[in-house]
Amino acid sequence: MHALFSYGTLQQKQVQRDTFGRELNGFADKLLGYELGEVEITDEEVIASSGKRFHPILKKSDNPHSTVSGTVFMITHEELLHADNYEADCYRRISAPLASGKICWIYSENK
């Protein structure tokens, strides 16, 4: 199983059903050293699922005390690949530590 930190649309039940074929259970945590920005999504299928043209995006912060609240979901390898397909090219998947000490996959700005 993989731990995935979600701070945006992957927390929406409809997006979970469309992306993973099920609703996910998770727990709250915080990502350290990041802040939220916004990005315009052009994939009409993603917009239809989320109901939003603008999605949040993680940006590395110069302030190490910056935090982003979200939810940690435990998903299978296959589900992680589905999440990769859901996320636009402006995102990249990397691992990062959370406030709880857990290491998770996150989708951050693709720089």
Phi/psi region, residue 35 (left: phi>0; alpha: psi -120 to 50; beta: rest), is: beta
Q: What is the pLDDT of residues 18-56, one digit of tens each?
A: 999 999 999 999 999 999 999 998 989 888 999 999 999
pTM assigned to the model: 0.90
Exposure b/e, 47-61, CB count within 10 A at least 16 = b: bebbeeeebbbbbeb
Q: Does domain 2-109 have CATH number 3.10.129.10?
A: no
Contact yes or no for 106/6 (Cβ under 8 A): no
The DSSP output letter for 89 is: T
